[in-house]
Amino acid sequence: MAERNIAHLTATEARAELEAGTLTSLELVDACLARIAERDSDVGAWAHLNAEAARKSAQEADARRAAGKSVSPLTGIPVGIKDIIHTTDFPTEYGSSVFAGNQTSEDAFIVAQLKAAGAVLLGKTVTTELAFFGPGKTRNPRDLERTPGGSSSGSAAAVADDQVFLALGSQTAGSTIRPASYCGTVGFKPTFGYTSRTGVLPQSEPLDTLGGYARSVDDIALLFDAISAHDPADTGMAPGNRPSLVDALAEPGPKVPRFAYVRSPGWPQAEAAMKAAFDDFAGSFGARAEVVETPLPAEFDEILRLQQIVQFSDIARNYGPIADANPDAISAKLKEIIAEGRTFSSSNYAAAREEQESLYEALCAVLGNYDAILTPAATGVAPIGLASTGSPVFNGLWTYLGMPCISLPLIEIDGLPVGVQLTSARGSDAALLRVAKWMTTDKGARG
Amino acid sequence: MAERNIAHLTATEARAELEAGTLTSLELVDACLARIAERDSDVGAWAHLNAEAARKSAQEADARRAAGKSVSPLTGIPVGIKDIIHTTDFPTEYGSSVFAGNQTSEDAFIVAQLKAAGAVLLGKTVTTELAFFGPGKTRNPRDLERTPGGSSSGSAAAVADDQVFLALGSQTAGSTIRPASYCGTVGFKPTFGYTSRTGVLPQSEPLDTLGGYARSVDDIALLFDAISAHDPADTGMAPGNRPSLVDALAEPGPKVPRFAYVRSPGWPQAEAAMKAAFDDFAGSFGARAEVVETPLPAEFDEILRLQQIVQFSDIARNYGPIADANPDAISAKLKEIIAEGRTFSSSNYAAAREEQESLYEALCAVLGNYDAILTPAATGVAPIGLASTGSPVFNGLWTYLGMPCISLPLIEIDGLPVGVQLTSARGSDAALLRVAKWMTTDKGARG
């Protein structure tokens, strides 16, 4: 019998084995550490690791379980944390030398929830510079000559490469979905305001959303159920408890889902191979789903620019003082964006914020008829080279509109993954995951 | 027996008489028209009147009632409409010669609701220039040498002077509450997003709120119940139906209400006589209410400026093109504000919008302990002269925070009114009206 590949289990499978007693948390952690030891010099997904602390935390989880104490679904599961999220156990360096060795005195609200759930914090994953475009050291695990995407580079790469079961990312334009697409894993950005951002580097308050990576849709539900408690300090969060996503996935999804196939304004910038593969994918459902190609009205033509006006203005505000104080430590590209952000007037910003709502309302008229929008996650497979993290033209608009998005690794082009993105109305996170699960099971999968 | 003063009835009393058959709508309209004929050359509250159309509309309401057809609480009640609200029956001139004779082809969403309720549109009331500070022709009915306040000058003056039973205003800084205080009537600005703004001149989307005037708190409930239907086209409106305010007022209010007495950052700009009268008022409840002087934390010091950054930026955006195209027709003051609004960067605006939420959250910590905040409505009695409409320093902060506000004519200084303002948490409109009603009845009234 071949040795079991424990590190390749889904978090849901790992949880079941922990509960059945067929695996321990220490075995999970050791499997991750072994995989990291084998791959880290190539992939470089981690900014900070602490094997000893992780093993100790796993042993505590195992002891807790052995003693019959209460445990939660994430107890003993290793999780990676994007290095813009504050942790008392690790430095938080924001992917910038300006913050080398930066040690925060408090855990982010979501980290505190992970700890309370008994999750094992395996380490901090590489982020691009201040979660913008300056690449970190991470390489794409599917092809080391290619970018993993960004800004949540390390989280996507580590989950895709079986180095950890779950990882946290974030998205202001396309920082969760694009790396998921490039690395070939499941990436999820919930509705704006679904999780707390207290203790997370702020880039753009009306856009910043916590995201996450996993190897299945069920795993995404497991992760987000653990971190969705209401945080009164994050005024972007709607009050009230989130219904359980795990429970929602136990309910049946739509029998014959209806998809709006929206190529979106980024389409002309996509690669020919991706366009062909995506059209082929959209046409492959036959009677198992209804797929209606749905053009966006002309008023959406400027939406990518509107997203940038908000994002770049807020970058100028939030990062400008950092760049001014440390000009030599900040990338030229980021300084350029700060300068651009400073050119926008308050009227530009207010108009872009107003359009955010009115375009969403306009889209709702379309969404009323469909279970989800089917749309590309990226312009193509991960680009060759590490200097750029690729283009977010298939992501920024959905982030701007505050809609939940998921990327599913369902397409391959010449052996490299491209994500299928699904998005739907604000607040429909559970329903979106149900459609995503349908799509990743035999029922939805092609042919 | 002296002749009845029909025009002085409250809307609630008028409604009861219509239902009892002791008065007709035509009698209500004629009583208003008679009062207007007597007073209009002095007060100048109306931009457009159409006696014939109003009498016809009243006769239709009376016929409807006589025929036993369904009627609503406002059927047959005369209402005035601020002249920034679109009406197909009257021009809408926004208080500016640029829009002389401007005839809109659609009714504002709220006007359509008033018509559907069977209310009689008596006419359009004078607004200041584009609902900002340039005064209209209206004089304060309590002292013709004084300003009525603004920008809802005509609506406040007309209701205070018994020329109409109810009137619509609006508030971006202090345009509803301040005129109520100066003219001595009840003025109400609900929670941001309570009513639709479709078909109302936009000044600042994150601040603009429809307001209203009446001679009692019950009348305010009557008016707002008729105009609070959800309008999907106004993205500032929260979905869902508003519970009936009239029903809420039928429930008992708090037995011993608890008030936070908040002097607020405008206090140093207030007149000595107002300060003394207000302190005296706040101290007069004895055991009938709990009044706790509550200072705002230091972070509120800049709140008036933050409100201006949002308002002036949006004025630059919305009115700038009008002023650029018609420089001679726009007041120097408004042009100055447009120029100032244009100096703010997108970062200034985004920061002010973020503070809007975080300051509200900070205030909620205070509000949790109190039924309402008790705070001045204006810096003093209406100032002498018509060149200025007075200062909104006691209003802009609450508008900025999106909180419901009501001004009650409970203080007089040398025979002139000053309003007592109550405000409370967003969405607590019904509870606020209950407290206001308590305060205006024997139970709450002084001594």
Q: Which helix (H) or strand (E) holds A303?
A: helix A303-325
> A interface toward B at CB cutoff 8 Å?
205-206, 232-233, 235-236, 309-310, 313-314, 316-317, 320, 341-342, 344-351, 353-354, 357-358, 360-361
pLDDT range class, residue B195, cuts 50, 70, 90: very high
Q: Average pLDDT for residues A334-355, to the nearest whole number?
A: 96
The residue from A25, A96, A151, A264 that is catalytic is A151
Alpha carbon A48 to its chain centroid, in Å, reads 19
Pair type for strands B416-423 and B405-413: antiparallel
Q: Are B345 and B382 in contact (CB under 8 A)?
A: no
The residue count of chain A comes to 447
pTM score: 0.83
Residues linked to residue B258 through DSSP beta bridges, in sequence order? B290
Which residue of B346, B353, B366, B426 to mutate against A (max A Cβ within 10 Å)? B346
Q: With a cut of 90, say whether residue A368 has pLDDT above it.
A: no
Q: Average pLDDT for residues A282-296, to the nearest whole number?
A: 93
Cross-chain Cβ contact B354/A205 below 8 Å: yes
Give the Cα separation of B230 and B240 in Å (integer).
6
- Closest approach of B146 to chain A, Cα-based (Å): 35
Q: With a cut of 70, say whether residue A391 has pLDDT above it.
A: yes
The alpha-carbon radius of gyration of chain A (Å, integer) is: 21
What lies within 8 Å, CB to CB, of B37 at 6+ separation is: none
Alpha-carbon torsion, ordered A27, A33, A37, A42, to 10 deg = 120
Q: CB-CB: which of A232, A346, A354 is closest to B344? A: A346
* pLDDT tens string B311-320: 999 999 999 9
pLDDT range class, residue B447, cuts 50, 70, 90: very low
pLDDT of residue B423: 98
Environment class of residue A365 by beta-carbon count within 10 Å: exposed (0-12), middle (13-18) or buried (19+)? exposed
Q: Average pLDDT for residues A326-354, to the nearest whole number?
A: 96
The alpha-carbon radius of gyration of chain B (Å, integer) is: 21
Q: With a cut of 80, say whether residue A1 has pLDDT above it.
A: no
Residues linked to residue A49 through DSSP beta bridges, in sequence order? A123
One DSSP character per residue, A46-72 reads EEEE-HHHHHHHHHHHHHHHHTT----
Alpha-carbon torsion, ordered B63, B68, B69, B73, to 10 deg = 90
Q: Are B418 and B411 in contact (CB under 8 A)?
A: yes
* pLDDT tens string A61-107: 999 999 999 999 999 999 999 999 999 999 999 999 999 999 999 99
- Closest approach of B172 to chain A, Cα-based (Å): 15
Q: Are A157 and A148 in contact (CB under 8 A)?
A: yes
DSSP state of B381: S
* pLDDT tens string B304-346: 999 999 999 999 999 999 999 999 999 999 999 999 999 999 9
What lies within 8 Å, CB to CB, of B277 at 6+ separation is: B411, B413, B418
Cross-chain Cβ contact B358/A235 below 8 Å: yes
Alpha helices in B143-259 (DSSP H): 153-160, 177-183, 217-226, 245-250
- E-strand ranges in B33-110 read 46-49, 78-82
The residue count of chain B comes to 447
For residue A162 the two structure tokens come to: 């079986």
What lies within 8 Å, CB to CB, of B233 at 6+ separation is: A361, B109, B196, B198
Q: How many CB pairs under 8 A join A and B?
A: 78
Residues linked to residue B191 through DSSP beta bridges, in sequence order? none
Environment class of residue B137 by beta-carbon count within 10 Å: exposed (0-12), middle (13-18) or buried (19+)? middle
pLDDT range class, residue B365, cuts 50, 70, 90: confident
Residue B405 maps to which CATH number?
A: 3.90.1300.10
Look at the block and give the residue holding tokens 């409807």: B64
Look at chain A and report how many structural domains it folds into.
Answer: 1
Residue among B398, B402, B436 nearest B419 (CA): B436
Task: List CB contacts (< 8 A) between A320 and chain B.
Answer: 347
What letter represents residue A299's amino acid?
Answer: E
Q: Are A237 and A229 in contact (CB under 8 A)?
A: no
Residue A237: closest C-alpha in chain B: B357
Pair type for strands B46-49 and B120-125: antiparallel
Instruction: Assess whether A82 carries a catalytic annotation.
Output: yes
pLDDT range class, residue B253, cuts 50, 70, 90: confident
For residue A83 the two structure tokens come to: 């290095």
Q: CB-CB: which of A232, A236, A313 is closest to B350? A: A313
- E-strand ranges in A54-181 read 78-82, 120-125, 166-171
Cross-chain Cβ contact A346/B233 below 8 Å: no
Residue B205: closest C-alpha in chain A: A354
CA distances from A66 to A18, A63, A70, A443 (A): 10, 5, 10, 38
Residue A361 has a CB neighbour count (10 Å cut-off) of 13
Cross-chain Cβ contact B314/A350 below 8 Å: yes
Residue among B37, B9, B122 nearest B76 (CA): B122
Domain extent at residue A125 = 1-447
For residue B311 the two structure tokens come to: 């308002």
Return the active site residues of B. Answer: 82, 151, 175
pLDDT range class, residue A126, cuts 50, 70, 90: very high
Q: Which residues of A40-57 are buried (b: 16+ CB within 10 A; e: fewer)?
A: beebbbbbbbeeeebbeb
Specify the 3-state DSSP secondary structure of B277. Answer: helix
Task: List CB contacts (< 8 A) between B311 and chain A.
Answer: none
Give the Cα separation of B259 and B371 in Å (integer).
6
CA distances from B302 to A316, B266, B296, B399 (A): 22, 11, 11, 14
pLDDT range class, residue B286, cuts 50, 70, 90: confident
Cross-chain Cβ contact A361/B232 below 8 Å: yes
Residues linked to residue A123 through DSSP beta bridges, in sequence order? A49, A80
- Closest approach of A353 to chain B, Cα-based (Å): 9
pLDDT of residue A235: 85
- Residue A373 phi/psi, 5-degree rounding, is -90, 135
- Residue B293 phi/psi, 5-degree rounding, is -65, 125
* pLDDT tens string A325-337: 999 999 999 999 9
Specify the 3-state DSSP secondary structure of A431. Answer: helix
Q: With a cut of 80, say whether residue A200 has pLDDT above it.
A: yes
Cross-chain Cβ contact A233/B314 below 8 Å: no
